[in-house]
């Protein structure tokens, strides 16, 4: 039977969600936050901590002789080094003529090279080679910009490129003097 409350009597409100449900929601949120924190911070962020063997030791393998150690270190240094060779005084009969540069990527180098010559006072590039393989050289060059008669201090920038993908792996520079005779 439905009773109608008297005027001025209190009406019972619908039941509130239990506090137990709220507590379960908070605990679930904390579990998710904790799992995320462990994933990003406990595992090294990118999962790289799982990649490395925990039994690996940094250093030189026991039993290697001093000679073997030196040989290995020399091999590593040689792989990362490259030699540059260029005529440091390049003369041009005039601003549009060839000059003997003798740019050499010696055969002992492990990298392809490109060479750019830049004027020291303006930073302007006046020569850019294409790729030069180890064992190749460029004897004569022509400037990309005709320079008037005079002497110009410049820098030859050798850029070493990985032979597989031609990505840049390093640079070295040499001072050169460009002389335009007339």
Where do the domains of the chain lie?
Answer: 19-50, 79-180
Dihedrals phi, psi of 106, to nearest 5 degrees: -60, 155
Mean pLDDT of the chain: 80
Give the pLDDT score at 47.
Answer: 52
Query: Is residue 171 over pLDDT 70?
Result: yes
Buried b (16+ CB within 10 A) or exposed e, 103-126: bbbeeebebbbbbbbbbeeeeeeb
How far apart (Å, rounded) are the C-alpha atoms in residues 121 and 75? 39
Query: Is residue 11 over pLDDT 50?
Result: no
Overall fold of domain 79-180: Immunoglobulin-like (2.60.40)
Residues β-bridged to residue 117: 127, 156
More confident residue, 41 or 79: 79
Give the pLDDT score at 9.
Answer: 40
Give the pLDDT score at 74.
Answer: 73
**Listed ranges 30-39, 56-65, 146-155; the one with the highest mean pLDDT:** 146-155
How far apart (Å, rounded) are the C-alpha atoms in residues 61 and 69? 9
Query: For 120-162, how does the pLDDT look when each residue is reduced to its tens digit (9 = 90+)?
Result: 999 999 999 999 999 999 999 999 999 999 999 999 999 999 9
Give the pLDDT score at 10.
Answer: 39
Chain-centre distance of CA 25, in angstroms? Answer: 47
Query: For 92-112, how does the pLDDT look when each residue is reduced to its tens digit (9 = 90+)?
Result: 999 999 999 999 999 888 899
More confident residue, 51 or 49: 51
Chain-centre distance of CA 133, in angstroms? Answer: 22
pLDDT cut 70: percent of the chain above it: 71
Give the pLDDT score at 12.
Answer: 39
Kind of pairing, strands 168-180 and 89-92?
A: parallel
Query: Is residue 40 over pLDDT 70?
Result: no
Greatest extent of the chain over all pairs of C-alpha atoms, in Å: 120
- Can you point out the beta strands (E) in the chain? 89-92, 98-105, 112-119, 125-128, 136-142, 150-161, 168-180
DSSP state of 14: P
pLDDT cut 90: percent of the chain above it: 50
Rounded mean pLDDT, 55-76: 76
CB 156 within 8 A of CB 140: no
């Amino acid at each position: 039977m439905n009773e109608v409350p008297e005027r001025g009597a209190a009406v019972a409100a619908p039941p509130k969600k239990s506090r137990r449900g709220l507590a379960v929601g908070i605990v679930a949120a904390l579990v998710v936050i904790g799992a995320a924190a462990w994933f990003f911070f406990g595992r090294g962020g990118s999962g790289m901590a799982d990649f490395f063997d925990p039994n690996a030791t940094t250093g030189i393998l026991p039993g290697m002789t001093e000679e073997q150690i030196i040989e290995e270190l020399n091999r590593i240094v040689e792989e990362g080094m490259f030699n540059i060779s260029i005529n440091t005084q390049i003369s041009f009969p005039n601003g549009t003529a060839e000059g003997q540069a003798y740019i050499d990527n010696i055969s002992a180098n492990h990298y392809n090279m490109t060479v750019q010559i830049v004027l020291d006072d303006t930073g302007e590039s006046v020569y850019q080679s294409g790729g030069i393989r180890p064992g190749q050289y460029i004897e004569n060059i022509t400037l990309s910009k005709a320079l008037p008669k005079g002497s110009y201090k410049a820098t030859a920038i050798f850029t070493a490129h990985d032979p597989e993908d031609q990505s840049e792996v390093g640079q070295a520079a040499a001072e050169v003097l460009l002389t335009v005779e007339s």
